[in-house]
Amino acid sequence: MSLVVAKFGGTSVADYQAMNRCADIVLGNPATRLVVVSASSGVTNLLVELSQADMGDERRLKLLKEIATIQYAILDKLGRPADVAAALDALLSRMATLSARLLQAPSHAMVDEILSLGEQCSSALFAAVLRERGAKASAFDVRQVMRTDSHFGKAEPQIAELKRLATEKLQPLLEQQLLVTQGFIGADADGRTTTLGRGGSDYSAALLAEALEADAVEIWTDVEGIYTTDPRLAPNARPIAEISFNEAAEMATFGAKVLHPATILPAVRQQIQVFVGSSRAPEKGGTWIRHQVEDEPVFRAVAVRRDQTLLNLHSLQMLHAQGFLAETFAVLARHKISVDLITTSEVNVSLTLDKTGSDSAGKGLLTEALLQELSQNCRVRVEDKLALVAIIGNKIATTAGICRRVFEVLEPHNVRMICQGASPHNLCVLVSEAEAGDVVAALHRNLFEGAQDAA
Protein backbone atom coordinates (compact mmCIF):
# COMPACT_ATOMS: atom_id res chain seq x y z
CA MET A 1 0.00 0.00 0.00
CA SER A 2 1.36 3.39 -1.01
CA LEU A 3 1.45 5.63 2.06
CA VAL A 4 1.85 9.38 2.49
CA VAL A 5 1.95 11.05 5.91
CA ALA A 6 0.63 14.62 5.78
CA LYS A 7 1.34 17.11 8.54
CA PHE A 8 -0.58 20.38 8.97
CA GLY A 9 0.75 23.22 11.12
CA GLY A 10 -1.16 25.52 13.44
CA THR A 11 -2.14 28.12 10.84
CA SER A 12 -3.34 25.34 8.53
CA VAL A 13 -5.82 24.13 11.17
CA ALA A 14 -6.54 27.55 12.68
CA ASP A 15 -10.29 27.50 12.01
CA TYR A 16 -13.05 25.61 10.18
CA GLN A 17 -12.30 27.22 6.80
CA ALA A 18 -8.59 26.42 7.09
CA MET A 19 -9.38 22.83 8.09
CA ASN A 20 -11.54 22.44 4.98
CA ARG A 21 -8.64 23.57 2.79
CA CYS A 22 -6.55 20.86 4.44
CA ALA A 23 -9.33 18.35 3.88
CA ASP A 24 -9.18 19.18 0.14
CA ILE A 25 -5.49 18.29 0.14
CA VAL A 26 -5.94 15.05 2.10
CA LEU A 27 -8.92 13.82 0.09
CA GLY A 28 -7.22 14.78 -3.18
CA ASN A 29 -4.51 12.15 -2.66
CA PRO A 30 -5.70 8.55 -2.02
CA ALA A 31 -2.21 7.66 -0.73
CA THR A 32 -2.62 10.03 2.24
CA ARG A 33 -3.74 7.75 5.05
CA LEU A 34 -2.19 9.34 8.13
CA VAL A 35 -2.60 13.00 9.05
CA VAL A 36 -0.57 14.68 11.81
CA VAL A 37 -1.85 17.99 13.16
CA SER A 38 -0.54 20.76 15.38
CA ALA A 39 -2.71 22.70 17.81
CA SER A 40 -4.83 25.41 16.19
CA SER A 41 -2.90 28.65 15.68
CA GLY A 42 -2.37 30.52 18.95
CA VAL A 43 -3.47 27.68 21.23
CA THR A 44 0.00 26.39 22.14
CA ASN A 45 1.16 29.86 23.17
CA LEU A 46 -1.92 30.20 25.37
CA LEU A 47 -1.23 26.78 26.88
CA VAL A 48 2.40 27.71 27.56
CA GLU A 49 1.19 30.73 29.52
CA LEU A 50 -1.45 28.61 31.23
CA SER A 51 1.26 26.19 32.38
CA GLN A 52 3.09 28.87 34.37
CA ALA A 53 2.84 28.02 38.06
CA ASP A 54 2.86 31.64 39.29
CA MET A 55 -0.34 32.67 37.49
CA GLY A 56 -3.30 34.28 39.21
CA ASP A 57 -6.66 32.54 39.04
CA GLU A 58 -8.31 35.39 37.12
CA ARG A 59 -5.74 35.21 34.34
CA ARG A 60 -5.99 31.40 34.30
CA LEU A 61 -9.74 31.51 33.71
CA LYS A 62 -9.31 34.14 30.99
CA LEU A 63 -6.81 31.92 29.14
CA LEU A 64 -9.10 28.90 29.41
CA LYS A 65 -11.93 30.95 27.91
CA GLU A 66 -9.72 32.12 25.01
CA ILE A 67 -8.71 28.54 24.19
CA ALA A 68 -12.30 27.31 24.42
CA THR A 69 -13.46 30.11 22.11
CA ILE A 70 -11.02 29.02 19.38
CA GLN A 71 -12.05 25.36 19.59
CA TYR A 72 -15.82 25.88 19.97
CA ALA A 73 -15.86 28.18 16.93
CA ILE A 74 -14.79 25.18 14.83
CA LEU A 75 -17.24 22.88 16.61
CA ASP A 76 -20.11 25.30 15.92
CA LYS A 77 -19.32 25.31 12.18
CA LEU A 78 -19.45 21.51 12.27
CA GLY A 79 -22.96 21.67 13.70
CA ARG A 80 -21.86 20.43 17.13
CA PRO A 81 -22.03 16.64 16.55
CA ALA A 82 -22.61 15.03 19.96
CA ASP A 83 -19.56 12.74 19.98
CA VAL A 84 -17.14 15.51 19.00
CA ALA A 85 -18.71 17.98 21.46
CA ALA A 86 -18.34 15.42 24.28
CA ALA A 87 -14.68 14.78 23.38
CA LEU A 88 -13.91 18.49 23.23
CA ASP A 89 -15.72 19.20 26.51
CA ALA A 90 -13.69 16.46 28.21
CA LEU A 91 -10.38 17.87 26.91
CA LEU A 92 -11.21 21.42 27.96
CA SER A 93 -12.38 20.21 31.36
CA ARG A 94 -9.10 18.33 31.79
CA MET A 95 -7.28 21.53 30.84
CA ALA A 96 -9.06 23.47 33.58
CA THR A 97 -8.42 20.76 36.18
CA LEU A 98 -4.71 20.47 35.41
CA SER A 99 -4.14 24.22 35.34
CA ALA A 100 -5.73 24.53 38.79
CA ARG A 101 -3.61 21.68 40.16
CA LEU A 102 -0.50 23.24 38.70
CA LEU A 103 -0.96 26.30 40.91
CA GLN A 104 -0.87 24.04 43.97
CA ALA A 105 1.78 21.46 43.04
CA PRO A 106 3.69 22.25 39.82
CA SER A 107 5.46 19.42 37.99
CA HIS A 108 7.11 18.97 34.60
CA ALA A 109 4.87 15.98 33.85
CA MET A 110 1.75 18.05 34.46
CA VAL A 111 3.04 20.86 32.21
CA ASP A 112 3.55 18.39 29.36
CA GLU A 113 0.04 17.03 29.74
CA ILE A 114 -1.43 20.54 29.62
CA LEU A 115 0.62 21.40 26.52
CA SER A 116 -0.54 18.22 24.77
CA LEU A 117 -4.22 19.17 24.94
CA GLY A 118 -4.09 21.61 22.02
CA GLU A 119 -3.11 18.85 19.57
CA GLN A 120 -5.71 16.53 21.05
CA CYS A 121 -8.43 19.12 20.42
CA SER A 122 -7.39 19.85 16.83
CA SER A 123 -7.10 16.15 15.90
CA ALA A 124 -10.64 15.46 17.15
CA LEU A 125 -11.98 18.45 15.22
CA PHE A 126 -10.11 17.73 11.98
CA ALA A 127 -11.21 14.09 11.97
CA ALA A 128 -14.79 15.40 12.26
CA VAL A 129 -14.22 17.75 9.30
CA LEU A 130 -13.05 14.80 7.19
CA ARG A 131 -16.09 12.74 8.21
CA GLU A 132 -18.34 15.67 7.29
CA ARG A 133 -16.76 15.53 3.83
CA GLY A 134 -17.68 11.86 3.52
CA ALA A 135 -14.39 10.24 4.50
CA LYS A 136 -14.05 7.31 6.87
CA ALA A 137 -11.81 9.00 9.41
CA SER A 138 -11.03 8.78 13.13
CA ALA A 139 -8.79 10.52 15.62
CA PHE A 140 -5.95 8.30 16.88
CA ASP A 141 -4.12 8.90 20.16
CA VAL A 142 -0.45 9.04 19.16
CA ARG A 143 0.57 8.26 22.73
CA GLN A 144 -0.30 4.63 21.96
CA VAL A 145 2.72 4.41 19.66
CA MET A 146 5.01 7.46 20.14
CA ARG A 147 7.15 6.01 22.91
CA THR A 148 9.70 8.40 24.45
CA ASP A 149 11.97 8.67 27.45
CA SER A 150 10.83 10.64 30.50
CA HIS A 151 12.67 13.89 29.79
CA PHE A 152 9.60 16.12 30.03
CA GLY A 153 9.66 19.22 27.85
CA LYS A 154 12.01 17.71 25.29
CA ALA A 155 11.52 13.95 25.29
CA GLU A 156 13.63 11.64 23.16
CA PRO A 157 11.71 9.16 20.96
CA GLN A 158 12.52 5.48 21.36
CA ILE A 159 12.84 4.52 17.68
CA ALA A 160 12.72 0.71 17.94
CA GLU A 161 9.75 0.72 20.30
CA LEU A 162 7.93 3.29 18.15
CA LYS A 163 8.32 1.06 15.10
CA ARG A 164 7.07 -2.00 16.95
CA LEU A 165 4.01 -0.22 18.30
CA ALA A 166 3.21 1.52 15.00
CA THR A 167 3.35 -1.79 13.14
CA GLU A 168 1.16 -3.45 15.75
CA LYS A 169 -1.42 -0.74 16.48
CA LEU A 170 -1.35 1.80 13.67
CA GLN A 171 -0.66 -0.09 10.44
CA PRO A 172 -3.79 -2.32 10.57
CA LEU A 173 -6.09 0.68 11.12
CA LEU A 174 -4.60 2.62 8.20
CA GLU A 175 -5.67 -0.14 5.83
CA GLN A 176 -9.29 0.51 6.81
CA GLN A 177 -9.59 4.27 7.30
CA LEU A 178 -7.95 7.70 7.44
CA LEU A 179 -6.40 8.48 10.80
CA VAL A 180 -5.77 11.91 12.28
CA THR A 181 -3.20 12.00 15.06
CA GLN A 182 -1.25 14.51 17.10
CA GLY A 183 2.18 15.94 16.49
CA PHE A 184 4.50 17.13 19.25
CA ILE A 185 3.40 14.64 21.92
CA GLY A 186 4.18 11.12 23.08
CA ALA A 187 4.23 9.01 26.23
CA ASP A 188 6.92 7.37 28.34
CA ALA A 189 7.00 3.71 29.37
CA ASP A 190 4.70 4.48 32.32
CA GLY A 191 2.09 6.06 30.05
CA ARG A 192 2.80 9.63 31.19
CA THR A 193 2.34 12.29 28.50
CA THR A 194 5.56 13.82 27.15
CA THR A 195 6.34 16.47 24.54
CA LEU A 196 9.10 16.59 21.91
CA GLY A 197 9.93 20.32 22.26
CA ARG A 198 8.50 23.33 20.48
CA GLY A 199 8.00 22.74 16.77
CA GLY A 200 8.04 18.97 17.28
CA SER A 201 5.01 18.21 15.09
CA ASP A 202 7.16 18.03 11.92
CA TYR A 203 9.45 15.63 13.76
CA SER A 204 6.47 13.50 14.85
CA ALA A 205 5.28 13.19 11.25
CA ALA A 206 8.72 12.11 10.03
CA LEU A 207 9.13 9.61 12.89
CA LEU A 208 5.76 8.04 12.12
CA ALA A 209 6.60 7.93 8.40
CA GLU A 210 9.86 6.17 9.22
CA ALA A 211 8.15 3.66 11.50
CA LEU A 212 5.52 2.89 8.85
CA GLU A 213 8.04 2.94 5.95
CA ALA A 214 5.97 5.57 4.15
CA ASP A 215 6.69 6.79 0.64
CA ALA A 216 6.64 10.50 1.49
CA VAL A 217 6.05 13.07 4.21
CA GLU A 218 4.17 16.24 3.31
CA ILE A 219 4.68 19.27 5.55
CA TRP A 220 1.84 21.73 4.92
CA THR A 221 2.37 25.18 6.36
CA ASP A 222 1.62 28.83 5.47
CA VAL A 223 4.49 29.35 3.02
CA GLU A 224 4.99 28.04 -0.51
CA GLY A 225 8.00 25.83 0.13
CA ILE A 226 11.56 26.69 1.08
CA TYR A 227 13.05 29.94 -0.26
CA THR A 228 16.59 31.08 -0.95
CA THR A 229 16.10 33.17 2.21
CA ASP A 230 13.30 34.71 4.25
CA PRO A 231 11.33 36.87 1.74
CA ARG A 232 10.67 39.39 4.52
CA LEU A 233 14.41 40.11 4.63
CA ALA A 234 15.09 39.87 0.89
CA PRO A 235 12.07 40.64 -1.34
CA ASN A 236 13.74 38.95 -4.32
CA ALA A 237 14.07 35.61 -2.53
CA ARG A 238 12.91 32.73 -4.72
CA PRO A 239 11.28 29.37 -3.96
CA ILE A 240 13.49 26.31 -4.39
CA ALA A 241 11.90 23.42 -6.31
CA GLU A 242 14.21 20.67 -5.05
CA ILE A 243 17.00 20.34 -2.51
CA SER A 244 19.01 17.49 -1.05
CA PHE A 245 18.66 16.03 2.43
CA ASN A 246 22.06 17.48 3.38
CA GLU A 247 21.12 21.00 2.28
CA ALA A 248 17.72 20.81 3.96
CA ALA A 249 19.28 19.58 7.20
CA GLU A 250 21.65 22.55 7.22
CA MET A 251 18.82 24.99 6.45
CA ALA A 252 16.57 23.57 9.17
CA THR A 253 19.40 23.55 11.70
CA PHE A 254 20.45 27.10 10.94
CA GLY A 255 17.12 28.80 11.10
CA ALA A 256 14.82 28.10 8.12
CA LYS A 257 11.63 28.06 10.19
CA VAL A 258 9.67 26.21 7.50
CA LEU A 259 11.13 22.94 8.76
CA HIS A 260 11.88 21.66 12.25
CA PRO A 261 15.61 20.76 12.52
CA ALA A 262 14.95 17.16 13.58
CA THR A 263 12.51 16.42 10.75
CA ILE A 264 15.19 15.47 8.26
CA LEU A 265 16.80 12.80 10.46
CA PRO A 266 14.12 10.08 10.21
CA ALA A 267 13.64 10.88 6.50
CA VAL A 268 17.38 10.42 5.86
CA ARG A 269 17.48 7.14 7.78
CA GLN A 270 14.65 5.70 5.67
CA GLN A 271 15.33 7.83 2.53
CA ILE A 272 11.77 9.14 2.58
CA GLN A 273 11.20 12.17 0.36
CA VAL A 274 9.74 15.24 2.06
CA PHE A 275 7.48 17.87 0.50
CA VAL A 276 6.99 21.38 1.93
CA GLY A 277 4.08 23.45 0.63
CA SER A 278 1.35 25.93 1.51
CA SER A 279 -2.06 24.66 2.59
CA ARG A 280 -3.45 28.02 1.49
CA ALA A 281 -2.17 27.63 -2.09
CA PRO A 282 -1.35 23.96 -2.80
CA GLU A 283 -1.65 24.62 -6.53
CA LYS A 284 1.55 26.70 -6.38
CA GLY A 285 3.63 23.63 -5.60
CA GLY A 286 6.47 23.70 -3.11
CA THR A 287 9.86 22.19 -2.33
CA TRP A 288 10.81 18.52 -2.58
CA ILE A 289 13.60 17.29 -0.33
CA ARG A 290 15.23 14.19 -1.77
CA HIS A 291 18.22 11.92 -1.26
CA GLN A 292 19.59 12.84 -4.71
CA VAL A 293 18.91 15.97 -6.75
CA GLU A 294 19.90 16.97 -10.26
CA ASP A 295 21.23 20.44 -9.46
CA GLU A 296 23.79 21.06 -6.66
CA PRO A 297 24.81 24.74 -6.81
CA VAL A 298 27.59 26.18 -4.68
CA PHE A 299 25.12 28.63 -3.12
CA ARG A 300 21.63 27.34 -2.31
CA ALA A 301 20.29 29.62 0.42
CA VAL A 302 21.03 32.02 3.27
CA ALA A 303 19.49 31.15 6.65
CA VAL A 304 19.39 33.13 9.87
CA ARG A 305 18.79 31.96 13.42
CA ARG A 306 18.20 34.62 16.03
CA ASP A 307 18.32 34.61 19.81
CA GLN A 308 21.75 32.98 19.97
CA THR A 309 23.99 32.79 23.01
CA LEU A 310 27.78 32.78 22.91
CA LEU A 311 29.48 31.07 25.83
CA ASN A 312 33.12 32.06 26.34
CA LEU A 313 35.21 29.79 28.56
CA HIS A 314 38.70 30.91 29.66
CA SER A 315 41.10 28.63 31.51
CA LEU A 316 44.87 28.35 31.78
CA GLN A 317 44.26 24.60 32.30
CA MET A 318 43.88 24.35 28.52
CA LEU A 319 47.49 25.38 27.90
CA HIS A 320 49.44 22.30 26.74
CA ALA A 321 47.00 20.08 28.69
CA GLN A 322 44.49 17.38 27.92
CA GLY A 323 40.94 16.80 29.08
CA PHE A 324 39.55 20.33 29.43
CA LEU A 325 37.23 20.08 26.42
CA ALA A 326 36.15 16.56 27.41
CA GLU A 327 35.13 17.77 30.86
CA THR A 328 33.37 20.83 29.43
CA PHE A 329 31.29 18.74 27.04
CA ALA A 330 30.51 16.27 29.82
CA VAL A 331 29.07 19.12 31.91
CA LEU A 332 27.00 20.35 28.97
CA ALA A 333 25.75 16.81 28.29
CA ARG A 334 24.62 16.39 31.89
CA HIS A 335 22.50 19.52 31.45
CA LYS A 336 21.08 18.35 28.09
CA ILE A 337 22.85 21.15 26.19
CA SER A 338 23.72 20.70 22.52
CA VAL A 339 26.57 22.80 21.15
CA ASP A 340 26.25 24.30 17.67
CA LEU A 341 29.50 26.04 16.75
CA ILE A 342 32.86 25.98 18.49
CA THR A 343 36.15 27.86 18.10
CA THR A 344 39.22 27.47 20.27
CA SER A 345 42.51 29.17 21.12
CA GLU A 346 45.21 28.13 23.55
CA VAL A 347 43.26 29.25 26.63
CA ASN A 348 39.75 30.06 25.35
CA VAL A 349 36.81 28.16 23.97
CA SER A 350 33.78 29.87 22.44
CA LEU A 351 30.54 27.92 21.97
CA THR A 352 27.23 28.95 20.46
CA LEU A 353 24.00 27.66 21.93
CA ASP A 354 20.61 27.86 20.28
CA LYS A 355 18.03 29.04 22.80
CA THR A 356 15.00 28.67 20.52
CA GLY A 357 12.70 25.77 21.30
CA SER A 358 14.88 24.50 24.14
CA ASP A 359 11.87 22.79 25.62
CA SER A 360 8.13 22.78 25.15
CA ALA A 361 7.49 25.42 27.80
CA GLY A 362 10.16 27.71 26.33
CA LYS A 363 12.50 27.51 29.33
CA GLY A 364 16.03 28.79 28.80
CA LEU A 365 19.13 26.63 28.49
CA LEU A 366 21.57 28.49 30.70
CA THR A 367 20.48 27.58 34.19
CA GLU A 368 22.30 28.81 37.30
CA ALA A 369 23.30 25.22 38.08
CA LEU A 370 24.98 24.83 34.67
CA LEU A 371 26.91 28.10 34.97
CA GLN A 372 28.07 27.23 38.48
CA GLU A 373 29.32 23.82 37.38
CA LEU A 374 31.21 25.30 34.42
CA SER A 375 32.71 27.99 36.67
CA GLN A 376 34.46 25.34 38.75
CA ASN A 377 36.92 24.75 35.89
CA CYS A 378 37.06 28.08 34.04
CA ARG A 379 35.95 31.70 33.87
CA VAL A 380 32.60 31.94 32.10
CA ARG A 381 31.33 34.91 30.10
CA VAL A 382 27.92 34.91 28.40
CA GLU A 383 27.04 37.07 25.39
CA ASP A 384 23.54 37.22 23.98
CA LYS A 385 21.48 39.24 21.45
CA LEU A 386 23.37 37.52 18.66
CA ALA A 387 22.26 35.92 15.39
CA LEU A 388 23.76 33.09 13.38
CA VAL A 389 23.82 33.62 9.61
CA ALA A 390 24.56 30.55 7.49
CA ILE A 391 25.37 30.34 3.79
CA ILE A 392 24.07 26.95 2.65
CA GLY A 393 25.22 25.15 -0.49
CA ASN A 394 27.56 22.50 -1.86
CA LYS A 395 31.35 22.04 -1.88
CA ILE A 396 31.72 25.28 0.06
CA ALA A 397 34.80 24.03 1.89
CA THR A 398 36.60 23.13 -1.35
CA THR A 399 35.55 25.89 -3.75
CA ALA A 400 38.04 28.74 -4.19
CA GLY A 401 36.78 32.30 -3.89
CA ILE A 402 33.90 31.60 -1.49
CA CYS A 403 35.39 33.57 1.41
CA ARG A 404 36.14 36.59 -0.77
CA ARG A 405 32.53 36.85 -1.96
CA VAL A 406 31.16 36.45 1.55
CA PHE A 407 33.60 38.65 3.44
CA GLU A 408 33.36 41.60 1.07
CA VAL A 409 29.69 41.75 2.01
CA LEU A 410 30.51 41.47 5.73
CA GLU A 411 33.12 44.24 5.69
CA PRO A 412 30.84 46.93 7.27
CA HIS A 413 29.69 44.56 10.03
CA ASN A 414 31.33 43.23 13.16
CA VAL A 415 31.58 39.44 12.94
CA ARG A 416 31.79 37.82 16.36
CA MET A 417 32.60 34.28 15.17
CA ILE A 418 33.30 32.46 11.89
CA CYS A 419 32.95 28.70 11.33
CA GLN A 420 33.78 27.05 8.03
CA GLY A 421 35.32 23.78 6.91
CA ALA A 422 33.61 21.22 9.14
CA SER A 423 30.84 20.71 6.58
CA PRO A 424 30.93 21.07 2.78
CA HIS A 425 27.43 22.51 3.00
CA ASN A 426 27.75 25.65 5.14
CA LEU A 427 29.73 28.71 6.14
CA CYS A 428 28.48 30.35 9.34
CA VAL A 429 29.04 33.76 10.91
CA LEU A 430 27.81 35.15 14.21
CA VAL A 431 26.72 38.79 14.16
CA SER A 432 24.73 41.20 16.28
CA GLU A 433 21.02 40.41 16.16
CA ALA A 434 20.36 44.05 15.29
CA GLU A 435 22.46 43.70 12.12
CA ALA A 436 21.25 40.24 11.07
CA GLY A 437 18.55 41.45 8.67
CA ASP A 438 20.96 43.73 6.82
CA VAL A 439 23.60 40.99 6.63
CA VAL A 440 21.14 38.46 5.18
CA ALA A 441 19.79 40.94 2.61
CA ALA A 442 23.30 41.94 1.50
CA LEU A 443 24.46 38.32 1.20
CA HIS A 444 21.38 37.39 -0.81
CA ARG A 445 21.95 40.29 -3.23
CA ASN A 446 25.58 39.34 -3.71
CA LEU A 447 25.18 35.56 -3.99
CA PHE A 448 21.78 35.05 -5.60
CA GLU A 449 20.38 38.08 -7.38
CA GLY A 450 21.80 37.80 -10.85
CA ALA A 451 24.47 35.26 -9.88
CA GLN A 452 25.15 32.42 -12.28
CA ASP A 453 25.15 29.79 -9.54
CA ALA A 454 21.87 30.76 -7.86
CA ALA A 455 19.44 27.96 -7.09
Does the residue 174 lie in any domain?
A: yes
Residue 15, annotated ligand binder? no
Residue 437 has pLDDT above 60, yes or no: yes
Residues 321, 209 share a domain: no
Of 333-337, 353-357, 419-423, least confident by mean pLDDT is: 353-357
Does the residue 140 lie in any domain?
A: yes
Residue 10, annotated ligand binder? yes
Q: pLDDT tens digit string along 77-134?
A: 999 999 999 999 999 999 999 999 998 888 999 999 999 999 999 999 999 999 999 9
| Between 104 and 451, the higher pLDDT residue | 104
Residues 307, 205 share a domain: no
Residue 77, annotated ligand binder? no
Residue 350 has pLDDT above 60, yes or no: yes
Residue 383, annotated ligand binder? no
Residue that terminates a domain, selected from 221, 248, 276: 221
Q: Which domain holds residue 140?
A: 2-221
Residues 315, 217 share a domain: no
Does the residue 421 lie in any domain?
A: yes
Percent of the chain residues topping a pLDDT of 70:
94
Residue 262 has pLDDT above 60, yes or no: yes
Residues 200, 95 share a domain: yes
Give pTM, 2 decimals.
0.84
Residues 185, 74 share a domain: yes
Does the residue 324 lie in any domain?
A: yes
Residues 170, 33 share a domain: yes
Residue 7, annotated ligand binder? yes
Residues 203, 341 share a domain: no
Residue that terminates a domain, selected from 201, 221, 241: 221
Does the residue 453 lie in any domain?
A: no
Does the residue 261 lie in any domain?
A: no
Residues 16, 102 share a domain: yes
Residues 330, 183 share a domain: no
3-state SS record for the chain = CCCEEEEECCCCCCCHHHHHHHHHHHHCCCCEEEEEECCCCCHHHHHHHHCCCCCCHHHHHHHHHHHHHHHHHHHHHCCCCHHHHHHHHHHHHHHHHHHHHHHHCCCHHHHHHHHHHHHHHHHHHHHHHHHHCCCCEEECCHHHCCEECCCCCCCCECHHHHHHHHHHHHHHHHCCCEEEEECCEEECCCCCEEECCCCHHHHHHHHHHHHHCCCEEEEEECCCCCECCCCCCCCCCCECCEEEHHHHHHHHHCCCCCCCHHHHHHHHHHCCEEEEEECCCHHHCEEEEECCCCCCCCEEEEEEEEEEEEEEEECHHHCCCCCHHHHHHHHHHHCCCCCCCEEECCCEEEEEEECCCCCCCCCCCCCHHHHHHHHCCCEEEEEEEEEEEEEEECCHHHCCCHHHHHHHHHCCCCEEEEEECCCCCEEEEEEEHHHHHHHHHHHHHHHCCCCCCCC
What per-residue confidence (pLDDT) applies to 452? 43
Residues 207, 59 share a domain: yes
* CATH code of the domain covering residue 417: 3.30.2130.10
Residue that terminates a domain, selected from 199, 221, 243: 221
Does the residue 282 lie in any domain?
A: no
Residue 227, annotated ligand binder? yes
Residues 187, 51 share a domain: yes
How many domains, in total, are found in the chain? Answer: 2
What per-residue confidence (pLDDT) applies to 257? 67
Does the residue 196 lie in any domain?
A: yes
Residue 9, annotated ligand binder? yes
Residues 194, 88 share a domain: yes
Residue 213, annotated ligand binder? no
